[in-house]
């Protein structure tokens, strides 16, 4: 009984940690986006226009989809599963970006539309999925409508703080120490481990509840 | 005593001339602040303000053909290896003084200028007498993209001049191994590439290691006064016979008119073969790892 309570009490902190990490990774990847595209599309101002447009667009769609998904028997397991999918969809950025960018470069002469299409191909899907996590976190944390605003506020606070840190740590240090692909693989690895941990915690909580109901 | 007076007078003159510097044009472009300053006969293009290292290009209004900037003179050392470049690519226009000078030296040559900032092209045309004709063309494009597209069109150049680095910000994708390999492919068989960069900061070692990884040993010409350095590389790599001494006299007559002392440049050229002054295991800059600006700040 004691154990079940304590794990229930810790669960919000765990969700906040996950929200922080997804915020961290989103901005870390957005920042790397400029460096990934530069060899094929240059460093003109419109490169950042393309990247930011794609990220904002995919986040907005992600919020919509995540909110929708949260209405269907929301659980920590599904939440963890979204992290896992996000981690997997990040991999093509490291594995196939050269190939994708070359194809776009050969077919589109104007580097504005080239960079827009390339960012779409590389970042759209993972960012939509990462965006789904925000409303889903709110769903898992809110217990009564009275506290919903406060919890949403706390969640935005933590995930945006994660984004701020992801931006500064990536641009000040990570790019100075590591190859871009190593950073992407690490982000993917961290998201996947947290997702698996969420699924595991969900399983063990369910087992515990079952044991309790049998007693 | 006389020496002191002389020092005092020259300081006074310097202050007066500093005060007299007059901003005749100023604009904020997509990339930077652009200033055109007149200082008696000397007209300079500056990016941003109040820093001596931001001077991009200068010329004397009365003698526009004189090369005022030391690094533009240093770049001329490249001609020792290829005295008749027919196709020239300049990445980073500045005031267009390099293009103008080369157009006079080699009226039959074809010159392509690449500049990312449209405002810089306009200022070069309006204030620095930058001229274009059917042999001299300017493209408003990122240098890396231009080179990639030129490769697709199977073009080649006898001389590529990289002058895209100013003191404040380095386009990091123009300093990587992959980029230099692309540029190397774009060179003709006797082609030379010259890069105007810095000789200070931690970046020195990384940049040198990257050039060496792509081109092998190279020559460099440095200037102790304001830490410029020119890196000279060739498609074939350098051998003992690359530096043809008979070229020196041939060029001397031509270049002295532009204020270039090619004999002095020849003496200042150092080959990295026997003078490698960076650590052997320095990390090479690649598209995956190119924190040039962070390294330059160290």
Provide the token pair at B205.
Answer: 């070692």
Instruction: Please state the ipTM of this predicted complex.
Output: 0.88
Q: What is the pLDDT of residue A1?
A: 43
> Is position B40 within any domain?
no
CATH number at residue B179: 3.40.50.150
> Is position B37 within any domain?
no
Q: Which residue has the higher pLDDT, B64 or B18?
A: B64
Any idea which residue has 């350098």 for tokens? B238
Q: How many CB atoms lie within 10 A of CB B218?
A: 22
| Spans in chain A with pLDDT lower than 50 | 1-3
Q: Which of A70-79, B10-19, B30-39, B178-187 has the lowest mean pLDDT?
A: B10-19
Any idea which residue has 């190279």 for tokens? B218
Q: Which of B81-95, B111-125, B241-255 has the lowest mean pLDDT?
A: B241-255
Q: What CA–CA distance (Å, rounded) separates A47 from A167? A: 17
Residue B39, helix vs strand vs coil: strand
Q: Which domains can be identified in chain A, with CATH numbers? A: 2-214 (1.20.1250.20)
Asked if the Cβ–Cβ distance from A176 to B291 is below 8 Å, we say: yes
Our CA-based measurement puts residue A35 at a distance from the nearest CA of chain B, in whole angstroms, of: 8
Q: Cα dist. B145→A37, A106, B114, B148, B183 in Å?
A: 11, 11, 10, 5, 11
What does the mean pLDDT of chain B come to? Answer: 86
Q: What CA–CA distance (Å, rounded) separates B179 from B288? A: 12
Q: Check if the beta carbon of residue B64 is closer than 8 Å to that of residue B129.
A: yes
Asked if the Cβ–Cβ distance from A111 to B173 is below 8 Å, we say: no
Q: What is the pLDDT of residue B238?
A: 84
**pLDDT exceeds 90 at position B54:** no
Asked if the Cβ–Cβ distance from B144 to A175 is below 8 Å, we say: no
Contacts of A109 (CB under 8 A, 6+ apart): B149
Instruction: Tell me which chain B residues have a C-beta less than 8 angstroms from the C-beta of A102.
Output: none
Model confidence, pTM: 0.89
Q: Does B242 touch chain A (CB under 8 A)?
A: no
Q: What CA–CA distance (Å, rounded) separates B8 from B45? A: 28
> Is position B140 within any domain?
yes
Q: What CA–CA distance (Å, rounded) separates B182 from B165? A: 18
Q: Does B293 touch chain A (CB under 8 A)?
A: no
Q: What CA–CA distance (Å, rounded) separates B171 from B93? A: 14
**Each residue of B23-39: pLDDT tens digit?**
889 898 888 888 898 88
Q: Check if the beta carbon of residue A132 is closer than 8 Å to that of residue A66.
A: yes
Q: What CA–CA distance (Å, rounded) separates B154 from B164? A: 23
Q: Which residue has the higher pLDDT, B130 or B19?
A: B130
Backbone angles phi, psi at B187, to 5 degrees: -75, 145
Average pLDDT over residues B261-278: 87
Asked if the Cβ–Cβ distance from A44 to B142 is below 8 Å, we say: yes
> Is position B36 within any domain?
no
Q: Check if the beta carbon of residue B209 is closer than 8 Å to that of residue B240.
A: no
**Residue among A181, A177, A164 at smallest CA distance from A23:** A164
Residue B183: give the domain boundaries.
70-297
> Is position B53 within any domain?
no
Domain count, chain B: 1
Instruction: Tell me which chain A residues have a C-beta less than 8 angstroms from the C-beta of B165.
Output: none
Provide the token pair at A92.
Answer: 């093509």
């Amino acid at each position: 009984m004691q154990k079940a309570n304590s794990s229930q009490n810790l669960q919000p902190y765990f969700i906040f940690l996950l929200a922080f990490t997804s915020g961290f990774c989103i901005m870390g990847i957005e920042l790397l986006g400029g460096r990934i595209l530069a060899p094929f599309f240059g460093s003109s101002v419109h490169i950042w226009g393309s990247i930011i447009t794609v990220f904002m667009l995919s986040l907005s769609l992600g919020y919509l989809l995540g909110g929708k998904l949260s209405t269907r028997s929301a659980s920590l397991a599904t939440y963890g599963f979204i992290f896992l999918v996000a981690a997997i969809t990040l991999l093509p950025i490291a594995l196939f970006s050269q190939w994708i960018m070359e194809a776009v470069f050969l077919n589109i002469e104007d580097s504005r539309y080239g960079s827009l299409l390339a960012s779409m191909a590389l970042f759209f899907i993972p960012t939509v999925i990462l965006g789904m996590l925000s409303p889903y976190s709110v769903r898992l944390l809110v217990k009564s409508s009275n506290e919903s605003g406060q919890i949403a506020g706390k969640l935005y606070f933590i995930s945006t703080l994660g984004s701020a840190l992801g931006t500064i740590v990536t641009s000040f240090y990570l790019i100075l120490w590591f190859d871009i692909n190593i950073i992407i693989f690490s982000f993917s690895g961290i998201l996947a481990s947290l997702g698996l941990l969420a699924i595991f915690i969900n399983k063990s909580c369910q087992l515990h509840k079952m044991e309790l109901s049998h007693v | 005593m006389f020496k002191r007076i002389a020092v005092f007078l020259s300081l006074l003159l310097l202050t007066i001339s500093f005060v007299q510097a007059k901003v005749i044009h100023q604009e904020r472009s997509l990339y930077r602040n652009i200033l055109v300053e007149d200082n008696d006969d000397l007209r300079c293009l500056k990016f941003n303000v109040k820093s001596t290292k931001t001077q991009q290009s200068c010329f004397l209004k009365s003698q526009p053909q004189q090369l005022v900037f030391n690094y533009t003179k240093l770049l001329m050392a490249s001609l020792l290896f290829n005295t008749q470049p027919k196709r020239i690519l300049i990445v980073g226009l500045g005031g267009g003084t390099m293009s103008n000078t080369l157009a006079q030296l080699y009226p039959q040559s074809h010159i392509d200028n690449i500049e990312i900032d449209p405002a810089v092209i306009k200022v070069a045309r309006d204030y620095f007498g930058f001229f274009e004709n059917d042999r001299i063309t300017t493209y408003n494009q990122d240098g890396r993209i231009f080179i990639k597209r030129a490769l697709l069109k199977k073009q080649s150049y006898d001389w590529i001049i990289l002058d895209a680095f100013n003191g404040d910000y380095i386009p990091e994708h123009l300093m990587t191994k992959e980029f230099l390999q692309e540029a190397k492919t774009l060179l003709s068989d006797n082609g030379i590439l010259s890069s105007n960069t810095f000789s200070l900061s931690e970046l020195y070692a990384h940049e040198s290691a990257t050039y060496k990884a792509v081109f092998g040993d190279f020559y460099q010409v440095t200037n102790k006064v304001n830490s410029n350095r020119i890196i000279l590389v060739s498609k074939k790599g350098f051998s003992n016979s690359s530096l043809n001494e008979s070229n020196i006299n041939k060029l001397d007559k031509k270049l002295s008119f532009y204020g270039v002392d090619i004999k002095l440049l020849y003496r200042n050229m150092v080959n990295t073969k026997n003078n490698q002054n960076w650590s052997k295991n320095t990390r090479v800059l690649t598209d995956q790892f190119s924190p040039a600006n962070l390294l330059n700040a160290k």
